A and B are shown apart, each in its own frame.
Chain A
Amino acid sequence: MPPEAEAVAEQVFAALADPTRRAILAALAAAGPATATDLAGRLPITRQAVAKHLALLAEAGLVIAEPGERRRVRYRLQPTPMQVAQQFLAALARDWESPLSALADHLDQRA
């Protein structure tokens, strides 16, 4: 894995370590692109706090700022970094212990 992928994964995990940022990402995933004001209306945090977290998420490449209506900036989820992190999780989640012990049991039963 190239070092940049590891950096990408690290930023994803750092972003997800904070409950407010998880809530922001979940809101964007559930309802699509939104402005900082929209998000502040839906989450129990101030617009200033939302803006601070959005700036960090944009820096990490997890959201992209794009022009919205009335020249207000909208934020959209950027899924590619999540997929890089997901591959790391897939390697950790892959369980060969259980199937291999099931194979041993299966062969023993047929012996």
Chain B
Amino acid sequence: MAFPDRIERTVELAHPPQKVWAALTTAEGLAAWFGDEAAIDLHPGGAAWMRWNEEGFTARMRVERVEEPTVFGFTWGIYGLPADDPRRTYVEFTLEPAGAGTRLTVVESGFAQLPDDAHSKAYEGNAGGWAKELAELASYLDAA
């Protein structure tokens, strides 16, 4: 299978899970290492965002799993697709005690979602919508 649906990375951290958990799940923590600014409503279904000032980019997330201090999961949009595209990847951090530190695993999955029929139709509808709007504008201008 040449098409990766998930990517996984593991890192050993010399700090206990509780400290790692705070870095992953608080606005202060996320803004310190991930984005430049962040906000998070830490419960399943809660909203979160991170902003990168230099890039002028904001990632909007939805918190999915909160099992302190072992599992934190959220979904976010697929980078490179339009902001209103319904497809999202799921990111899950798993924290395991490892000696005095923590083994942190991050898995991001859902890269291989296919645009379904509904999505294709919505997109076509959108494209058709623009053509129609532009045609209406053209007739309006022609009539003026």
Contacts and interface: CB of A to CB of B under 8 A. Distances in A.
A2 interface: yes
Nearest to A33: B131
A103 B11 contact: yes
A84 B7 contact: no
A102 B34 contact: yes
A46 interface: no
B115 A103 contact: no
A21 B124 CA distance: 23
Interface string B7-41: 10101011100011001100001001110000000
Interface residues of B, number: 37
Interface string A70-85: 0000000001100110
Contact of B113 (A79, A87, A108): A87
27 contacts: A1-B112, A5-B114, A79-B127, A83-B81, A84-B115, A87-B87, A87-B112, A87-B113, A88-B3, A89-B80, A91-B5, A94-B79, A96-B7, A96-B9, A101-B11, A103-B33, A103-B34, A104-B11, A105-B33, A106-B29, A106-B32, A107-B13, A107-B19, A107-B20, A108-B14, A108-B15, A111-B14
